[in-house]
Amino acid sequence: MDYLLEVHDVSKKFGDFTALNKVSIAVPKGSVFGLLGPNGAGKTTLIRIINQITMPDQGRVILDSESLQPKHIKDIGYLPEERGLYKSMKVGEQALYLAQLKGLSKQEAKKRLKYWFERLEIGDWWNKKIQELSKGMAQKIQFVVTVLHEPKLLIFDEPFSGFDPINANIIKDEIIRLKENGATVIFSTHRMESVEELCDHIALIHQSNKILDGKLIDIKRAYKTNTFEVGINPFQETGFENELISRFKTSKASYKSIGDELKYNVKLSDADSANDLLDFLMTKGSVCHFVEQVPSANDIFIQSVKSN
C-alpha cells in the first residue's frame, strides 16, 4: 500500500516519564486515520513529533517517502486540541499572518481566504477582532487556517469540540470533501461515533504503547464474537427456550423493539454457521430480528484498553 506517513519505532521520554515507547504507525494515502487512546496515552506527543514541535529520542518519521524535515511544515496542516487565536488581532490580519507562516504569499493567501470565508459564510467577519467572536466562530476560522495552504497531511485533534451540531456537521462534510480531493487526514478524538463515521484506519495508543492498529473493518472482524441478536415468536412457547439453550450458547438480550417477541443473544460455536442458527429458528417460530453483533469502535476501545 502507498503510505503518506510512516512512523517507525518512535520513542520519547520526558525525564523519567516515557511518553512514547517504540510506536510505529503507517497512514495510507487518501485515508482518514483515527489516532485513538485514553487521556495521557501519548497521542499529543506523537502528533507533536509529526509536526516537528518535539523531536523524538529515537525512531524515524517519513513523510511522502522522505525523512521528515523543516520544509515539510508546509505539507502539514495541524489543528491542535489546545487552540486559540490572538485575541486583539483582526480576523483577516490574523488569518493572513498564519497563512504566510505556512509559506503562502500574501496575495495567494488573500485569494484563498476569500474563497473559504465565502464557502463557510463568514465573509463579514474579516475586520472583527477575535475577542468579539464566539468560541464556535473562532473555531471555524481556525479550521480555515489549518486547511488553507492545502497540505497533503491534515491533523485534527478533537476538531468538533466547541461546535454546535450544525457547525460540527459542516466541518465533518468539509473534512470528507478534503479527503475526496486527495488529502490524508489524521484524526484524534474521544468521540467514537465520529470515528465510526469517518475513519478507514485506526491506531490505538495506551500507556505510551501502540496496542492496536489496522483497517477499522479488519479490526472489527477480529473483534467479533460470532454473536447474533435474535428475535422470535415461537410456534410453541413451552420448551422452546430450553431447546435453544441446549443447542446453542444463549443468553437473554434486551434490544429495543415495538413487538413482544422473545429476545436472545446467541453465540455460535466454531462448528455452527449463521445459517444453522437461522434454520433452527425458522423451524421453531417466526423470526423477526436477526442481527450479527458487530463490535463498535467504542467496544473495541474499551475492551482493548481494559485488557492491556
14/235 with CB nearer other proteins: 14
Beta carbon of residue 10, minimum distance to other proteins (angstroms, whole number): 16
- Is residue 76 within 8 A of residue 153, CB to CB? The reply is yes
Beta carbon of residue 89, minimum distance to other proteins (angstroms, whole number): 7
Q: Would you state the cell numbers that stand for residue 129, as one nine-digit string?
A: 477582532
48/210 with CB nearer other proteins: 48
Beta carbon of residue 200, minimum distance to other proteins (angstroms, whole number): 24
Please tell me the distance from the alpha carbon of residue 306 to that of residue 304, in angstroms, as a whole number: 5
Beta carbon of residue 156, minimum distance to other proteins (angstroms, whole number): 13
Q: Where along the sequence are the contacts to other proteins (CB under 8 A)?
A: 14-15, 48, 51-53, 70-71, 73-74, 76, 78, 80, 82-89, 97-98, 100-103, 142, 145
Residue whose C-alpha cell is 423477526: 288
E strand or H helix that includes residue 251: strand 249-252
130/198 with CB nearer other proteins: 130
Using DSSP bridges, classify how beta strands 262-267 and 249-252 pair: parallel, antiparallel or unpaired: antiparallel
Beta carbon of residue 167, minimum distance to other proteins (angstroms, whole number): 19
User: Which residue stretches of the chain are H helix?
Assistant: 43-50, 91-101, 106-119, 135-147, 165-180, 192-198, 216-223, 240-247, 274-284, 297-307
82/124 with CB nearer other proteins: 82
Chain-centroid distance of CA 229 in Å reads 27
Beta carbon of residue 113, minimum distance to other proteins (angstroms, whole number): 16
48/284 with CB nearer other proteins: 48
E strand or H helix that includes residue 230: strand 227-234
Beta carbon of residue 20, minimum distance to other proteins (angstroms, whole number): 14
Please tell me the distance from the alpha carbon of residue 281 to that of residue 240, in angstroms, as a whole number: 10
Burial class (CB in 10 A: 0-12, 13-18, 19+), 189: buried
105/308 with CB nearer other proteins: 105
140/284 with CB nearer other proteins: 140
Please tell me the distance from the alpha carbon of residue 189 to that of residue 3, in angstroms, as a whole number: 22
Please tell me the distance from the alpha carbon of residue 158 to that of residue 257, in angstroms, as a whole number: 34
